[in-house]
């Protein structure tokens, strides 16, 4: 699937709003694309009270609850970085973030890594599943939504907006897209 020097990591986040800095990262789910059961789930303390109703409704997370039960952002990002180094040791492999609508997830992950650890273990390596699919089949951007992809690749399953569950479904989707892409590449030769 990946080159020996790459480890694809499916990542999903839930947040208190549309962009980092003003809005808090509330949860992170990540798993190996090749082995989705090997994953991590973290809930974070909010950095402030800023939120949008739609974001909190989607995630079903509570700022009040996370204020009490969430990990401090620095501790959560350290734990996430340690997990990444464990599953993709820098001496053997480089982690590559994979996400469904990666610009959104990437913005929060990169901001929080930079803010709390001073570096992002992913570097600048991220793959957007939607863009990958669009390039693979030549469809319109509108046709990259789960409304189209889930019936075709995930037996109709929708993302439940739990970061780890979403990361696992995204890993399944990406594995299937990679397999299809490789089959078509072989046919084209």
User: pLDDT above 70 covers what percent of the chain?
Assistant: 95
pLDDT in tens, 14-50: 999 999 999 999 999 999 999 999 999 999 999 999 9
Give me the mean pLDDT over the 56-85 stretch. Answer: 97
The answer on pLDDT for 189 being more than 60 is no
Half-sphere exposure of 18 (CA within 13 A, CB side): 2
> Any idea where the domains of the chain sit in the sequence?
6-188
pLDDT in tens, 170-182: 999 999 999 999 8
Residue partners of 14: CB distance under 8 A and separation at least 6? 26, 27, 55, 58, 59, 61, 161, 162, 163
pLDDT of residue 4: 60
Question: Model-level pTM?
Answer: 0.94
Structure tokens given for 168 = 């696992």
Q: Are 122 and 97 spatial neighbours (Cβ–Cβ below 8 Å)?
A: yes
pLDDT of residue 2: 56
Q: Model confidence at 1, in pLDDT bands (50, 70, 90)? A: low
Rounded distance, CA 103 to CA 45, Å? Answer: 23
Give me the mean pLDDT over the 54-79 stretch. Answer: 97
The answer on pLDDT for 98 being more than 80 is yes
Integer-rounded Cα radius of gyration of the chain: 17
161 in catalytic set: yes
Rounded distance, CA 7 to CA 18, Å? Answer: 28
Structure tokens given for 51 = 């939120």
Let me know if domain 6-188 sits in CATH 3.30.70.20.
no
Say which of 85, 111, 124, 161 is annotated catalytic: 161
pLDDT in tens, 129-152: 999 999 999 999 999 999 999 999
């Amino acid at each position: 699937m990946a080159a020996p020097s790459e480890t694809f990591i499916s990542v999903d986040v839930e947040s208190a709003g549309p962009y980092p800095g003003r809005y808090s990262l509330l949860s992170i789910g990540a798993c190996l694309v090749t082995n989705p059961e090997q994953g991590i789930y973290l809930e974070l303390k909010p950095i402030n009270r800023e939120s949008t109703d739609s974001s909190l409704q989607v995630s079903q997370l509570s700022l009040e609850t996370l204020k009490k039960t969430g990990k401090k952002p620095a501790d959560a990002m350290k734990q996430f970085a340690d997990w990444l180094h464990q599953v993709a040791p820098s001496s053997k492999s480089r982690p590559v973030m994979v996400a469904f609508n990666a610009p959104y997830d990437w913005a929060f992950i990169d901001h929080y890594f930079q803010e709390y650890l001073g570096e992002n273990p992913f570097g600048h390596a991220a793959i957007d599943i939607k863009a990958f699919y669009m390039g693979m089949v030549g469809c319109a951007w509108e046709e990259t939504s789960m409304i189209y992809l889930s019936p075709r690749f995930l037996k109709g399953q929708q993302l439940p907006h739990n970061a780890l569950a979403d990361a696992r479904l995204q890993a399944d989707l990406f594995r299937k897209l990679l397999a299809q892409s490789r089959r078509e590449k072989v046919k084209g030769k």
